[in-house]
């Protein structure tokens, strides 16, 4: 096979091929994974969720224990009085002012642009235009918030002039595709060297982040903005409702009496850079993406296997990739949705892998709700913050620890904790399980 | 990297190890539908009943590909789909609107998820390995392919199953027609390039490939290179992208025995192909493929299937129209495709 099977698109940009590329980083040597190059650093963070419109606000809420769930204010559904959701606390009109995109565009794109832009600004990469830059984003239902409004008109056959199917303004459905949301944002960010979208349900943005890291390790890109976005939609809310896994109260992940999940919305992105780019930055990145793994539970389309096979394989695979032992992990940001099925499967896999030494653990979905295609991105941001600040987040509303598990999740916000390695779990429909490990250098 | 096996369900007779495009199916109308096989050979009857059409298409194409490769459990399953499972999405949306968010059942919601096909393949095989789904419009297949190629390069996989699946439904055809994508009035797919008019013909398909980093005795072709570029500024940039791609693989246009282009019969879309045919592709032999499978965001997977078969059989099927000189021996093929002037891709394949 010829070397360099993929040719990145920029014509004017010179790849940064360093002499160090032939050397291998320490993790790779452990795995004898000789073709992999340098480490991939996290240079910037951006997030918007029910607990804050930017990273600083989210961090404040995490510290003060302020959850983001409640009654629907901006999102509307027949189930508004029954089902709490974790909304981003801004109307579409004000969101449009923040993002700069027109209101006619999907809320998913607005959230994405706001968080991705924050991440890029945070990274402060001066010469970004001369670097090979990619935007790898995830979402679960694209521009569905607009499509489902379009559909009401599309299906109505009441108009005398137009039969059903001829109605509805096309602008409501033109950005329906998942990839279309990504492109709206990429075009605003001015990124065109590599753009793609991943959709593997709730593990989508974890997969986007590590696909981005691999694009850098393979020397196809220098900088990647990676993560995911999802807005609340009736489509998703009703879909989850039919599965009977939504909690009518505020969710209680890893509680023995947990009842289900609360849906949320938001976006989270990290800016990944090569070691070479990291060395040129004024603000030196201190965290790497050291491990990652994608495995499939292959058990059921929507349910996890009782022993958490997929979760176990994803976590152990990520540890292997990072060259770490379970005892090296200081904190696990759990997938922890609050459903009966997820929490016992995830917990059983953790027991199998970590027993008897359990790291601190919590589900930040107790704050943000389950943001689906965005959760891997938002929780990656929280994981990096945990490493940067030496903090552990509480798992809110825990009353009774799960009887079947030998460990309890953390219930308090802890400061000055020595955090060197964080494991972040994202598991989804279709058995898709992905784990990421972030490490402090 | 080697293309060891393929499985392709399309509007042509491409499925079930038939002779390679010896007979071309003609359609009248602007919508080409897949010729569906007897699924029972590949999928459990009880499962077939529960699966929607696109899932059957994808799973059957994947199973045929694995059978041909004699691989039971691939090291990775990666799919690309621009629209995902549209029938299920449309069905859940319709019921949700009609019943005003009440009386809904989960099946179509569950199956509407974009990773359903890859997940179903994993589930049927009891395959716990890497499983990913790309959903980026005209780059969906190319992204999936790149993921698979990287896994091989990283030595995290020795073989990968890569597929592209997109379907047309009544709803999507109605909406995309209103957007002006398709030709109006009766039109034959086989006459598609003869009349110059606005719009193309809608297509769909499910094409899977088993890529391996070690050769076997039955490989179709080497997959040497892949490139994607987004919204090129002008024709000159397209030319430069093509030439730099070839240069990166130390090959020149004179070494390319055949070019497969994504010409789709739409005047605007075809402008760049015509420009290249009269320009840098001037002395090359060229064939097109979208008159066979129609236009859809992952149609380039049909081109890769066709190119791989041309290399394996050593001949261009007589049914394909040629531009330029016919080469006796076909060793190197360049595929150039674009989707709606936005997503451009290049593939380079060669004889093993």
ipTM: 0.97
Q: Compare all CA atoms of chain B with the CA of A313 and give the residue at the minimum distance.
A: B128
- For the cut 50, the answer to whether the pLDDT of residue A397 exceeds it is yes
Are B154 and A36 a contacting pair at CB < 8 A? yes
Q: Is B123 left (phi over 0), alpha (psi -120 to 50) or beta?
A: alpha
pLDDT score of B228: 97
The structure tokens listed for B29 are: 């109308």
The DSSP symbol for B154 reads T
Q: Which of B116, B139, B244 sits opposite A430 (nearest CB)?
A: B116
Q: How far apart are CA B143 and CA B57, in angstroms?
A: 20
Residue A165 is predicted with a pLDDT of 80
A39: confidence class by pLDDT, cuts 50, 70, 90: very high
Chain A and chain B share a number of CB contacts under 8 A equal to 222
Q: Do A178 and B114 touch (CB under 8 A)?
A: yes
Nearest to A262 by CA among A71, A125, A113, A111: A71
Structure token digits, residue A193: 């060297």
A274 in helix, strand or coil? strand
Distance CA B211, CA B69 (A): 9
Nearest CA in chain A to B230: A192
The confidence band for A34, taking pLDDT boundaries of 50, 70 and 90, is very low
State residue B253's pLDDT score.
96
Of A363, A313, A360, A327, residue with least CA distance to A342: A363
The C-alpha atoms of residue B220 and residue A56 are separated, in whole angstroms, by 54
CA distance A382 to A391: 10
| Gap between the Cα atoms of B65 and B45, Å rounded | 20
CA A55 to chain centre: 14
Q: Which residue has the higher pLDDT, A266 or B185?
A: A266
In the annotation, is A178 catalytic?
Answer: no
Position A376 confidence tier, pLDDT thresholds 50, 70, 90: very high
In angstroms, what CA-CA distances link B259 with A118, B14, B270, B282, B352?
44, 21, 15, 11, 18
- Please indicate whether residue A10 or residue A300 has the higher confidence score (pLDDT): A300
Provide DSSP, A297-336.
--S-SSS--TT-HHHHHHHHHHHHHHT--GGG--EEE---
Q: Which chain A residues are Cβ-neighbours of B245 within 8 angstroms?
A: 7
- The secondary structure of residue B72, as a DSSP letter, is S
A177 vs B97: CB contact, 8 Å cut-off?
no
Q: Which of A58, A202, A375, A433 is catalytic?
A: A202
Which of A5, A8, A78 comes nearest B100 by C-beta? A78
Calculated CA dihedral for residues B309, B310, B314, B316, nearest 10 degrees: 140
* Closest residue in A to B345 (Cα–Cα): A9
The DSSP letter of residue B20 is T
Provide the chain B residues 308-347 that lie in CB contact (below 8 A) with chain A.
Answer: 342, 346
Contact indicator for A262, A397 with CB cutoff of 8 Å: no
Nearest CA in chain B to A218: B150
Q: How many CB atoms lie within 10 A of CB B278?
A: 9
> Regarding beta strands A266-274 and A40-49, do their DSSP bridges make them parallel or antiparallel, or are they unpaired?
antiparallel
Determine the length of chain B.
Answer: 352
Q: Would you call A11 and B237 a contact, using CB atoms and an 8 Å cutoff?
A: yes
pLDDT at A12: 72
Higher pLDDT, A280 or A13: A280
Q: Is B319 helix (H, G, I), strand (E, B) or coil?
A: coil
φ and ψ at residue A226, rounded to 5 degrees: -135, 145
**First-residue to last-residue Cα distance in chain A:** 35
Which of left, alpha, beta for B117 (phi over 0: left; psi -120 to 50: alpha)?
Answer: alpha
- Return d(Cα B313, Cα B64) in angstroms, integer: 19
Distance in Å, alpha carbon of B105 to nearest chain A alpha carbon: 6
Give me the pLDDT at residue A285, please.
96
**Of residues B34, B14, B4, the one with CA closest to residue B319:** B14
Say if residue A13's pLDDT is above 90: no
Contact A195 B225 (CB under 8 A): no
CA-angle at A208, arms to A202 and A211, nearest 5°: 135
CA A408 to chain centre: 24
DSSP secondary structure of B38-70: -GGGTS-HHHHHHS-HHHHHHHHHHHHHHHHHT
User: Which two three-digit tokens encode residue A161?
Assistant: 């002039």
3-state secondary structure of A351: helix
How close does chain A come to B316, measured CA to CA in Å?
25
Decide: A361 and A332 in contact? Cβ < 8 Å. Answer: yes
Is B134 within 8 Å of A313 when comparing Cβ atoms? no
pLDDT of residue B186: 81
- The residue among A229 and B320 whose pLDDT is bigger is A229
Judged by CB atoms closer than 8 Å, whether chains meet at B133 and A7 is answered as no
pLDDT recorded at residue A14? 64
Which chain A residue's Cα is nearest to B233? A192
- At B79, which helix (H) or strand (E)? strand B76-80
Name residue, tokens 């193309």: B200
Cβ of B135 within 8 Å of Cβ of A152? The answer is no
The residue of B96, B250, B342 whose CB has the most chain A CBs within 10 angstroms, and thus the best one to mutate to test that interface, is B96
Catalytic residue among A58, A370, A421, A433: A370
Is the Cβ–Cβ distance between B165 and B81 less than 8 Å? yes
Instruction: Give the separation between CA A186 and CA A190, rounded to whole angstroms.
Output: 6
Residues 6+ apart with CB under 8 A from B7: B15, B60, B61, B62, B63, B64, B65, B66, B68, B206, B207, B208
* Contact yes or no for B127 and A148 at CB 8 A: no
Q: Quick one: tokens of B294?
A: 């129609």
Contact in structure between A105 and A182 (CB atoms under 8 Å):
no
Nearest to A7 among B83, B101, B225 (CB): B225
Q: HSE (CB half, 13 Å, CA atoms) of A269? A: 35
Planar angle of CA B113, B9, B185, nearest 5 degrees: 90
Answer yes or no: A389 catalytic: no
Q: Say if residues A244 and A340 touch (Cβ distance below 8 Å).
A: no
Best probe of the B interface among A152, A301, A309, A373, by most B CBs < 10 A, is A301
| Residues in A touching B249 (Cβ below 8 Å) | 2, 4, 7
Q: Where are the beta strands (DSSP E) in A345-420?
A: 360-362
Partner A contacted by B126 (CB < 8 A): yes
Among A189, A220, A298, pick the best mutation site for testing chain B contact (most B Cβ within 10 A): A298
- Report CA Rg, chain B: 20
Helix (H) or strand (E) holding B147: helix B140-153
B234 touches chain A (CB under 8 A): no
Residue with the two structure tokens 């802890």: A414
Tokens of B323: 């531009």
Predicted TM-score (pTM) of the model is 0.96
Q: Both tokens of residue B296?
A: 């859809």
- Kindly list the distances between the CA atom of residue A35 and the CA atoms of A20, A295, A317, B176, in Å, as whole numbers in the listed order: 12, 22, 18, 44
Which of B188, B216, B343, B192 has its CA nearest to residue B264? B192
Can you read off the two tokens belonging to residue A437? 């490990």
What local confidence, expressed as pLDDT, does residue A1 receive?
40
Terminal Cα distance for chain B, rounded = 10
Instruction: Tell me: cis bond preceding A356? Omega within 30 of 0 counts.
Output: yes
Q: Which of B90, B100, B106 should be substituted to probe chain A, the one whose Cβ sees the most A Cβ atoms within 10 Å?
A: B106
Q: Give the per-residue pLDDT at A158.
A: 61
- Contact across the interface for B113 and A79, Cβ inside 8 Å: no
In terms of DSSP bridges, do strands A40-49 and A287-296 run parallel, antiparallel, or are they unpaired?
antiparallel
Which pLDDT band holds residue A6 (cuts at 50, 70, 90)?
confident
Q: What is the pLDDT of residue A22?
A: 32
CB-CB contact of A273 with A314 (8 Å): no
Question: CB–CB of A155 and B127 under 8 A?
Answer: no
Q: Which range is least confidently modeled, A13-27, A58-72, B53-67?
A: A13-27
Question: Which regions of chain B are under pLDDT 70?
Answer: none
Told to judge if A335 belongs to the known catalytic residues of this protein, a careful annotator would answer yes
User: Does an H or E element contain A170, and which?
Assistant: none
pLDDT (0 to 100) of residue A30: 31
Please say if the pLDDT value at position A159 is more than 80: no
Query: Which pLDDT score is estimated for A212?
Result: 98
The SS3 assignment for A104 reads coil
Instruction: Please state the rounded mean pLDDT for residues A389-411.
Output: 98
Report angle CA A39, A359, A353 to the nearest 5 degrees: 80
Residue A182 near residue A195, CB atoms below 8 Å? yes
Asked if A179 lies within 8 A of B105 by C-beta distance, the reply is: no
CA dist., res. B75 & res. B129, Å (int): 6
Residue-level length of chain A: 441
Q: What is the pLDDT of residues A327-362, one digit of tens each?
A: 999 999 999 999 999 999 999 999 999 999 999 999
């Amino acid at each position: 096979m010829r070397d360099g099977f993929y040719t990145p698109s920029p014509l004017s940009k010179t790849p940064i091929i360093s002499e160090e590329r032939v050397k291998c980083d320490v993790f790779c040597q452990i795995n004898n994974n000789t073709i992999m190059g340098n480490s991939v650093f996290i240079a910037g963070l951006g997030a918007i969720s029910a607990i804050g419109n930017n990273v600083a606000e989210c961090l404040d809420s995490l510290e003060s224990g302020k959850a983001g769930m409640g009654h629907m204010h901006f999102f509307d559904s027949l189930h508004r009085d029954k089902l709490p959701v974790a909304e981003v606390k801004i109307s579409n009109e004000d969101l449009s002012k923040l993002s700069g995109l027109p209101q006619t565009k999907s809320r998913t794109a607005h959230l994405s642009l706001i968080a991705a832009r924050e991440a890029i600004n945070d990274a402060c990469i001066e010469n970004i235009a001369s670097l090979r830059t990619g935007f790898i984003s995830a979402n679960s239902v694209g521009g569905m918030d607009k499509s489902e409004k379009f559909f009401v008109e599309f299906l109505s056959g009441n108009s005398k002039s137009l039969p059903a199917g001829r109605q509805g303004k096309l602008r409501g459905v033109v950005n329906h595709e998942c990839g279309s949301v990504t492109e709206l944002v990429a075009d605003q960010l001015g990124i065109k060297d590599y753009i793609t979208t991943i959709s593997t349900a709730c593990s989508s943005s974890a997969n986007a982040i590590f696909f981005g890291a691999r694009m850098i390790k393979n020397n196809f890109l220098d900088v990647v903005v990676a993560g995911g976005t999802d807005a609340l939609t009736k489509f998703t809310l009703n879909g989850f409702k039919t599965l009977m896994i939504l909690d009518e109260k505020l969710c209680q992940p890893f509680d023995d009496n947990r009842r289900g999940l609360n849906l949320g919305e938001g976006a989270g992105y990290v800016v990944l850079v090569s070691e070479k780019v990291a060395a040129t930055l004024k603000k030196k990145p201190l965290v790497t993406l050291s491990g990652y793994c994608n495995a499939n539970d292959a058990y059921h389309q929507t349910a996890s296997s009782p022993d958490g096979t997929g979760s176990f394989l994803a976590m152990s695979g990520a540890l292997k990739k990072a060259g770490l032992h379970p005892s090296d992990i200081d904190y696990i940001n759990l997938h922890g949705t609050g459903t009966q099925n997820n929490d016992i499967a995830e917990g059983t896999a953790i027991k199998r892998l970590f027993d008897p030494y359990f790291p601190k653990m919590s589900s930040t979905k107790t704050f943000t709700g389950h943001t689906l295609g965005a959760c891997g991105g938002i929780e990656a941001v929280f994981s990096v913050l945990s490493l940067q600040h030496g903090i552990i987040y509480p798992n809110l509303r825990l009353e009774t620890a799960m009887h079947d598990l030998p460990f309890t999740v953390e219930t308090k916000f802890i400061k000055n904790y020595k955090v060197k390695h964080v494991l972040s779990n994202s598991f989804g429909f279709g058995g898709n399980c992905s784990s990421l490990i972030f490490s402090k250098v | 990297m080697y293309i060891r096996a393929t499985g392709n369900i399309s509007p042509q007779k491409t499925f079930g190890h038939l002779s390679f495009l010896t007979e071309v199916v003609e359609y009248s109308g602007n919508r080409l539908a897949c010729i569906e096989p007897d699924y029972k050979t590949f999928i459990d009857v009880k499962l077939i009943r529960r699966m929607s059409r696109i899932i059957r298409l994808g799973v059957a194409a994947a199973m045929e590909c694995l059978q041909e490769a004699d691989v039971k459990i691939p090291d990775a399953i990666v799919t690309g789909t621009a629209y995902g499972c549209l029938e299920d999405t449309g069905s859940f949306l319709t019921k949700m609107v009609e019943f005003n968010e009440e009386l809904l059942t989960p099946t179509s919601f569950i199956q509407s998820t974009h990773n359903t096909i890859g997940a179903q393949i994993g589930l049927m095989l009891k395959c716990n390995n890497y499983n990913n789904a790309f959903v980026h419009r005209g780059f969906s297949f190319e992204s999936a392919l790149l993921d698979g190629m990287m896994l091989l390069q990283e030595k995290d996989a020795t073989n990968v199953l890569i597929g592209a699946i997109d379907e047309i439904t009544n709803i999507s055809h109605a909406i995309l027609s209103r957007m002006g994508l398709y030709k109006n009035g009766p039109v034959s797919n086989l006459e598609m390039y003869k009349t110059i008019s606005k719009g193309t013909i809608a297509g769909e398909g499910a094409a899977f490939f088993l890529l391996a980093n070690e050769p076997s005795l039955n490989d179709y072709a080497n997959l040497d290179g892949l490139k994607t570029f987004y919204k090129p500024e002008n024709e000159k940039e397209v030319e430069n992208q093509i030439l730099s791609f070839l240069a990166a693989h130390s090959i020149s246009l004179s070494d390319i025995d055949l070019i497969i282009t994504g010409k789709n019969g739409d005047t605007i879309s075809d402008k760049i192909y015509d420009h290249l045919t009269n320009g840098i592709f001037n002395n090359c032999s060229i064939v097109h493929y979208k008159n066979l499978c129609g236009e859809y965001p992952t149609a380039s997977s049909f081109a890769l299937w066709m190119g791989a078969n041309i290399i394996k059989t050593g001949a261009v099927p007589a049914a394909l129209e040629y531009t330029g000189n016919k080469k006796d021996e076909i060793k190197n093929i360049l595929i150039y495709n674009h989707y709606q002037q936005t997503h451009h891709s290049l593939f380079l394949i060669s004889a093993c």
